[in-house]
Amino acid sequence: MVADKSDKPEFKRSPSRFVDRITADGAEGWPVEPGRYRLVVSRACPWANRSMIARRLLGLEPALSLAVADPVQDERSWRFTLDPDDRDPVLGIRYLAEAYHARDPEYTGGVSVPAIVDVPSGKLVTNDYLRLPAELATEWRDLHREGAPDLYPEPLREEIEEISDAIFRDVNNGVYMCGFARTQQTYERAFTALFDRLDALSDHLATRRYLVGDSITVADIALFVTLVRFDAVYHGHFKCNRNKLTEMPVLWAYARDLFQTPGIGDTVDFDHIKRHYYVVHREINPSGIVPLGPDLSGWRTPHGREVLGGRPFGDGTPPGPPPEEERVPARF
């Protein structure tokens, strides 16, 4: 994720700079090949979390390896200090910025995750965070596991895109617009749009288990990554405090349903999430103190959404457990 956190009164999200596509036919110069690319993420980042979930649900772990950056950045942004010798063991680099500069030595912009890096050349291929989950669901289809769900079904794509655009504008980006607002007016405008949208989504989900169709799609993934961070970070840190998620019954049950779905909740690391936001955003939290709350045990309580029907994986099956090296430590 790349954000313009300047003194401008309204938060603006910087567009992805590198938007090359990795395609099944290789028409754009980057063919899908097992083992050729490495997905670089931070478990703290909601945009990276989207790609992590899609990769897990589709069973792409053997084909697309994963690099996890330290949730706390320094002046050079994302770093591999969680790995031995502070280097990514596959790419051999200390900072994701090195892959950006391998691609463009003159690049001076932000360094964001998720990013896909070409392992043989060490060059960044894409940081197109919005499009990556759908690309993994379509262009990488030949490498999906047996029983992989269709996260971007063609007959539903127009509806998926419409609701995903609204979620991005008012919810995914809306929490940041609240958190980094520089005037009362811009904050209140973003705050109102955020909760108006959450109320509309709650009404939409009151009688249906998933956002579009009767199984999980990339639209659900897009909404989940903000909801799962809401009480831990956005409610207090970003002043999105009309309600906690736990005080919005439909959305709270919906989020728990997804969290308890194999391949979704097992990508979430609340420790990384909280440390990133509260330590890195010193302009919002100058002390860098990370709060001990909230109580996270409610994420594993029954949600009751099964009565609405729906099949989480459509005609597919649940993914197996994550690879041992990718397991998130149990926090609660």
Pick the catalytic residue from 129, 152, 176, 210: 176
Amino acid at 290: V
Half-sphere exposure of 180 (CA within 13 A, CB side): 18
Query: Which residues have C-beta within 8 Å of that of residue 152, sequence separation ≥ 6?
Result: 133, 134, 137, 138, 160, 217, 218
Encoded tokens for 143:
């490498």
Q: Is 240 a catalytic residue?
A: no
State the DSSP code for 62.
T
> Distance (Å, rounded) from C-alpha 118 to C-alpha 168?
28
Helix (H, G, I), strand (E, B) or coil at 304: coil
| Alpha carbon of residue 269 to chain centroid | 12
**Binding site feature residues for glutathione:** 78
Query: Which residues have C-beta within 8 Å of that of residue 321, sequence separation ≥ 6?
Result: 262, 266, 327
Instruction: Give 10-49 as a DSSP string.
Output: S-EEPPPS-B---BTT-TTS-B--TTTEEEEE-TT-HHHH
Q: To which residue do tokens 């028409």 refer? A: 27
**Binding site feature residues:** 78
> Distance (Å, rounded) from C-alpha 46 to C-alpha 162?
20
Pick the catalytic residue from 37, 45, 178, 187: 45
Name the β-bridge partners of 40: 67, 115
Per the CB < 8 A criterion, the answer to whether 295 and 10 are in contact is no
Q: Is 176 a catalytic residue?
A: yes
For 190, the enclosing helix (H) or strand (E) is helix 184-205
CA torsion angle 282 288 289 291 (round to 10)? 50
State the DSSP code for 265.
G
Half-sphere exposure of 159 (CA within 13 A, CB side): 11
Across the chain, how many H-helices and E-strands are there?
10, 6
Residues tagged active-site: 45, 176
